[in-house]
Amino acid sequence: MLSFIFIIFCAVICRPVTILLHELGHAIPAMLLTGGKVTIYVGSYGNRENSQRISLGKLEIWFRYNFVEWKQGLCSPHAKDISINRQIIYTLCGPLASLLVAIAMLYFAFVFNFNELPVFALIIFLASAVTDIISNLNPTPKPVELHSGKIIYNDGYALISLFRIKAERRRTDWIVHKYNLGNYKKAAELSAKLLKTKSASDFMAYRILVSSLCQLKEYERAYDYYKQFAAKYKPDAHDLSISGFLLCQLGSREEGIIDYKRSLELDPDNANTLNNLGYSLILAERYNEALPLLDRSVQLNDTFAYAFNNRGHVKLMMGLLEDGFEDICRGLSLNDTNSYGYRNRGIYYLLKNDPASAMEEFIKAKRLDPSTEFINDHIAEAKRLLN
């Protein structure tokens, strides 16, 4: 009779003990790997009502008063931005913990010749641990709703998701490598291919793809992908700046200027956006608005060749010829491959009634980049004056 009661007692407590060890298996590696605090719940999915709190240094435990209710648990690390590898480790350690403890205890029971009752109890415990690891590592897409309303999944499903994200990040890193090497065509090809697969982090693929297509001057295609991105994610300052650039390139200058301004509301000290907005305002002949933006861009980055060049252009249009010429020359000293610098210096010579010098500058600009805006018009004007 005593043996029967003992066996029933063991069967009743095995599941709660398994849950406790499972959550400790998550918590202890999480604390060691992150150095941060970890909270575990035994008997609930984050509900602190009817629970007792125990604090052990960085470990906080909330367990239900009713021992029989210990049928579920939750581990919640407080650290932010935990690496994927560390998440994999502490996620896997949870279901392994109770199994390893059960095996170790049963091993010592046999080694030290425990009597039958403890051995039988440990066999029950091992069976509980095996059941736990099978149920938890079997990836189940059915979500679990926490007390806070947040949705999570079991350990097996979480591990598959983490490994998938890890693989995607390796692919994304390879794409970034291609982009940094200047192989924009390959970066665009790989990004577009990645977007055809289900991805939890495809916002990076969108951004690399759009940026690569901008470098390739495939603006219509780039904007199509940008619109797909903006429909799925909230654009940040960089995204809005890209949108402004693309809209301006596609002939929707006023819409582009609006997006540039929205970008600057989020990041007012972005020298590149200030410069691009300034250039768009130059094209709209709104020189008084462009000048303070370009002044700020140069102030933020005194080696920004494009900003010096554009500020020089504004000054030329405002009649400040020598100041403008000085800025343009400064820009060319910082980057002597900027075709717009030579174009703008040619505009200076036109305004100084020196079409021969202007023609030399325009020819340099066209050789560097035949697509330089209005270069053919300027060359035609210089020819007309020379004739």
Residue 32 has pLDDT above 90, yes or no: yes
Residue 6 has pLDDT above 70, yes or no: no
Boundary (domain end) residue, out of 153, 177, 211: 153
Do both 149 and 169 map to the same domain? no
Q: What is the pLDDT of residue 211?
A: 92
Do both 134 and 117 map to the same domain? yes
**Reported pTM:** 0.62
How far the first Cα of the chain sits from its last, in Å, is 120
Q: Report residue 142's pLDDT band, with 50, 70 and 90 as the boundaries.
A: confident
- Per residue in 222-247, pLDDT (tens digit) is 999 999 999 988 999 999 999 999 99
Contact yes or no for 63/70 (Cβ under 8 A): yes
Do both 124 and 183 map to the same domain? no
Do both 200 and 103 map to the same domain? no
Stretch among 124-138, 304-318, 328-342 having the lowest mean pLDDT: 124-138
Do both 84 and 170 map to the same domain? no
Boundary (domain end) residue, out of 113, 136, 153: 153
Q: What is the pLDDT of residue 122?
A: 80
Do both 175 and 110 map to the same domain? no
Measured CA distances, 139 to 42, 94, 154, 304 (Å): 22, 15, 7, 52
Do both 203 and 105 map to the same domain? no
Do both 42 and 75 map to the same domain? yes
Instruction: Tell me the average pLDDT across 330-347.
Output: 95
Tally the domains of the chain.
Answer: 2
The phi and psi torsions of 79 (rounded to 5 degrees) equal -65, 150
Do both 181 and 112 map to the same domain? no
229: domain range? 162-386
Q: Scanning the structure block, which residue is given the tokens 């010579």? A: 349
Contact yes or no for 63/51 (Cβ under 8 A): yes
Query: Residue 232's domain is classified under what CATH number?
Result: 1.25.40.10
Q: What is the pLDDT of residue 199?
A: 55
Residue 162 has pLDDT above 90, yes or no: no
Angle between helices 202-215 and 219-232 (to 10 degrees): 160
Q: What is the pLDDT of residue 324?
A: 95
For the record, the structure tokens of 136 come out as 């938890």
Do both 128 and 186 map to the same domain? no
Stretch among 125-134, 164-173, 233-242 having the lowest mean pLDDT: 164-173
Residue 82 has pLDDT above 70, yes or no: yes
Q: Report residue 7's pLDDT band, with 50, 70 and 90 as the boundaries.
A: low
Do both 194 and 337 map to the same domain? yes
Do both 222 and 73 map to the same domain? no
